[in-house]
Structure 1
Amino acid sequence: MKFLSGVTVVGMLAAGLPSVQGLTRRVNAPFTVSKLSAGATPHSSVGYIELTWSYGGLNQTKCSAQPGTYQVFPTVAKTVCSDPSTSFNLTKRSDGGADLELWHEVAPGTSASAVHTIQASEIVWTNQQSPTGTVQVYAGPQNFTVNAIFPKN
């Protein structure tokens, strides 16, 4: 029987190999987000957020909400997406940014989760020419991946 040194085993696990001498490591794909848009609606007290996301290119789900807000970037409580095993929320931070959180239920009562940090610089004021139509909107990337945290087997 050939034995592997601790350094070799750690190196192989870090490289993402699924098993080494009975040790297992679950390798997970990140959540892929596309078409993210969010903000306040001009001349309205309603905001919006829309996005599509998937896990490993599978189970694509659409998420949207129309929270109440006037001119400023919205906050959205945890909301179920088109696939009922998925949900999201959007929380503004005191530094002017926001956190987009995503959940995918992998087993009853157990969810994988991911957080995408929206920088304050990615939330901008628009319609500066018309003061009554000035609103905050998301101006960051619409498509990105975010590392997910999966529960241990």
Structure 2
Amino acid sequence: MKFFSGASLVGLLATGLADAIGTKAPFTITKFNAGATPHSSVGYVELTWSYSNGLNSTTCSARPGTYQVFPSVEKTVCSDPFTSFNLTKRSDGGADLELWYQEAYAIHTISADQIVWTNQQSPTGTVQVYAGPQNFTVKANYPET
């Protein structure tokens, strides 16, 4: 049987309590929407996300130039100036959504099957759009404290 000293037991309890109250809480994304706009050379990326243990939220959007294909967006500041995001299309047809809140960071991988072609009946309006879930959570990586 292993016994803990009072100091190590307090340390273990403090670590467990810190994790339990969510100092390393995930980012919660809602209303994620992205794609190319039919009959246009402008794309769109829109999302809302909660951070800091769900107590805060920010809205992010961008209108990148693209023609028919799913857009990429360079790092862009959201409505809360402490937050930013980017969206990078990968060579395998998927994309990575990256989110920053101060020093915390998260990445969500969008698979290639979640980026689809729409408006197949009208070839001039065919564009790529995101067809995955609009609401999801992403594990956030926080700096060690």
The TM-score normalised by the length of structure 2 is: 0.87
Is residue 76–residue 89 contact of structure 1 (8 Å, CA) maintained in 2? yes
- CA-based RMSD of the aligned residues comes to 2.2
Cα separation, 2, equivalents of 1:66 and 1:85: 20
Does 2:136 correspond to 1:144? Answer: yes
Aligned residue runs from structure 1 range 1-153, under 5 A? 3-4=3-4, 17-18=16-17, 27-55=23-51, 56-105=53-102, 111-153=103-145
Cα separation, 1, equivalents of 2:79 and 2:116: 28
Deviation at residue 3 of structure 1 after TM alignment: 2.9
- Alignment-mate amino acid for residue 72 of structure 1: V
Cα separation, 1, equivalents of 2:23 and 2:40: 45
**Paired residue secondary structure (2:16):** coil
Query: Which structure has the highest helix share of the two?
Result: 2
Query: 1:108 aligns to what?
Result: none
Instruction: Give the ranges of 4+ consecutive aligned residues of structure 1 lying more than 6 Å apart after TM superposition.
Output: none
Deviation at residue 27 of structure 1 after TM alignment: 4.1
Q: How many residues align?
A: 135
**Paired residue secondary structure (1:145):** strand
Q: Structure 2: which 5+ runs fail to align?
A: none
Cα separation, 1, equivalents of 2:104 and 2:143: 6
Q: Structure 1: which 5+ runs fail to align?
A: 20-25, 106-110
**Paired residue secondary structure (2:140):** coil
Deviation at residue 67 of structure 1 after TM alignment: 0.1
The TM-score normalised by the length of structure 1 is: 0.82
**Paired residue secondary structure (2:124):** helix
1:45-101: CA deviations, max 9, x gaps? 000000000112221100000000000000000000000000000000111000000
Cα separation, 2, equivalents of 1:112 and 1:57: 14
